Amino acid sequence: MKANSPLESVYFINLPEGFELSKESFPIDVTIPLPVQKKDSDAPGQFNPEELTQEQILAGILTVLAYDKHNQHTQYYRSIITKARPNIKKELSEAAILKVKNEDFEIAEEIFMALQGLDPEDKAITLNMAVFFDQRADSYRQSGLTEDADAYDDEALNYYKEAMAAEPAMPDAFFNAGFYYLKQKDYNGAKDAFETYLALTCDIKDEDLGDNGVYKKERAQEIIYNIKNQNMDDARFKAAYDLISKGEEEKGLEQIRMFLQNNPKVWNAWFMLGWGLRRIGRYEDSIAAFAKSLEFGGDTNSDTFNEMAICYLETNNFGEAKKSLLKALSIEPESTKIISNLGYVALREGNIAEAQKYFTTVLEFDPDDKIAQTELAKLENN
């Protein structure tokens, strides 16, 4: 067992014959060890069965279901918890969603793991876990935790693939996966996912789909049209993104330039060109590429202005850097990445008070933001 494993917080106990938790309690098989969640006040090696509560048993069972997938008594433990709490799946799902909204990711993950252990055949839980890891990756990337974000993106993809393989098929698995692929610049994968979503819902009447379902169909159709119209499912587009991401910028730039020869008005391609050029320090060329991106539709995307600002900052054009960041912030007002960059502009201008204000604002949105924490600590120590 790993150090600090959640299972270390669980006792496995054998109860005596005739033991009853309460008159309303569920039946207990005294021949099977029962997982019990330790109390914070429990001293090592001390346990009093007379103080045992139903909540301790249920919490212990949920921990085992979440973290001990191969326990030989899993089915018995599931039967206990479903008898004691018939609505447990609904309760846990609502709790997990609330935790995600509050960005209490550690607790949310524990709840999702317990849900999956409770009913591993429920693919709706699998899809919810995919969306959760997807959102967690986005949050971590915003906080500057790139490696953690990449790891959670990988987790999300595994769960999306499992959800898309469900029988019967779940349309929402393909709809949500489509946006995951868009984020990864895998436009061919996105197109396939959205096309599958439309195929699965094509025979459902609009009145049966409801307003949200109609919106999803229209959104899927719009994205497919944009991908096809701009040839973003071209293999060179995906290759360029992958190469630049892996640090092979020159090869990636070659691919995106080839793409632009036949698709000169695709703002995403100009953005990628600018991104690759910025990564190798060609800031003036990068600014020119981002200007083209803005010309062809990238002016609705905060990342275009944010990337452009980074280039202006590197060329000591602080006025244009700030102007670009404020435009980015008008599109995405709560982006901690953009607010942090405003802090860096203020630092370069020598305006320490303004920089502190921006980094403090970042922590108000995200108390775990590593970039803001580091910069504020530096400022306080100087």
**pLDDT one-digit tens code per residue, 125-138:** 999 999 999 999 99
Residues 196 and 292 in one domain: no
- Using a pLDDT cut of 70, give the percent of the chain over it: 92
* Average pLDDT value for residue range 169-182: 95
- Using a pLDDT cut of 90, give the percent of the chain over it: 51
Q: Is residue 120 part of a domain?
A: no
Q: Alpha helix (H) ranges present in the chain? A: 54-67, 74-84, 88-101, 105-118, 123-142, 146-164, 171-183, 187-201, 206-229, 235-245, 249-262, 267-279, 283-295, 302-314, 318-331, 336-349, 352-365, 370-381
Rounded (5°) CA angle 134-223-197? 70
What was the pLDDT predicted at 323?
97
Residues 225 and 274 in one domain: no
Total residues found in the chain within this entry: 382
* Average pLDDT value for residue range 169-184: 95
Q: Which of 229, 244, 268 is the last residue of a domain?
A: 229
pLDDT-based confidence at residue 203 (cuts at 50, 70, 90): confident
Between 352 and 232, where is the model more confident? 352
| Domains identified in the chain, total number | 3
* Average pLDDT value for residue range 339-358: 94
What was the pLDDT predicted at 231?
85
Q: Which of 45, 67, 84 is the last residue of a domain?
A: 84
- On the question of pLDDT at 144 being above 90, the answer is no
Q: Is residue 161 part of a domain?
A: no
Q: What is the mean pLDDT of the chain?
A: 88
Q: How far is residue 242's CA from residue 355's CA, in Å, rounded to a whole number?
A: 34
Residues 266 and 204 in one domain: no
* Average pLDDT value for residue range 131-156: 89
Three-state SS string across 97-154, please?
HHHHHCCCHHHHHHHHHHHHHHCCCCHHHHHHHHHHHHHHHHHHHHCCCHHHHHHHHH
* Average pLDDT value for residue range 29-56: 72
Residues 339 and 274 in one domain: yes
Out of 32-36, 126-130, 172-176, 181-185, least confident range: 32-36
Q: How far is residue 290's CA from residue 51's CA, in Å, rounded to a whole number?
A: 66
Contact 164, 174 (CB under 8 A): yes
- On the question of pLDDT at 210 being above 60, the answer is yes
What was the pLDDT predicted at 2?
41
Q: Is residue 127 part of a domain?
A: no
Q: Is residue 285 part of a domain?
A: yes
- On the question of pLDDT at 10 being above 70, the answer is yes
- On the question of pLDDT at 42 being above 70, the answer is no
Rg of the Cα atoms in the chain? 26
What was the pLDDT predicted at 169?
93
DSSP category for residue 33: -
What was the pLDDT predicted at 1?
34
Residues 201 and 270 in one domain: no
What was the pLDDT predicted at 31?
81
What was the pLDDT predicted at 17?
65
Residues 278 and 193 in one domain: no
Rounded (5°) CA angle 240-244-246? 120
What was the pLDDT predicted at 353?
93
Q: Which of 84, 102, 120 is the last residue of a domain?
A: 84
- On the question of pLDDT at 143 being above 60, the answer is yes
Q: Is residue 183 part of a domain?
A: yes
What was the pLDDT predicted at 20?
58
pLDDT-based confidence at residue 366 (cuts at 50, 70, 90): confident
Q: Is the pTM of this model over 0.85?
A: no
Residues 264 and 225 in one domain: no
Q: Is residue 312 part of a domain?
A: yes
Residues 186 and 289 in one domain: no
- On the question of pLDDT at 23 being above 50, the answer is no
- On the question of pLDDT at 35 being above 50, the answer is yes
What was the pLDDT predicted at 300?
92
DSSP category for residue 52: -
* Average pLDDT value for residue range 300-315: 95
- On the question of pLDDT at 45 being above 60, the answer is no
What was the pLDDT predicted at 126?
93
Q: Is residue 158 part of a domain?
A: no
CA nearest to 267, candidates 243, 242, 303, 235: 303
Domain that holds residue 14: 6-84
Beta bridge partners of 12: 35
What was the pLDDT predicted at 44?
56
CA nearest to 241, candidates 269, 278, 206: 269
End-to-end CA distance of the chain: 44
What was the pLDDT predicted at 254?
96
Residues 178 and 270 in one domain: no
Q: Is residue 244 part of a domain?
A: no
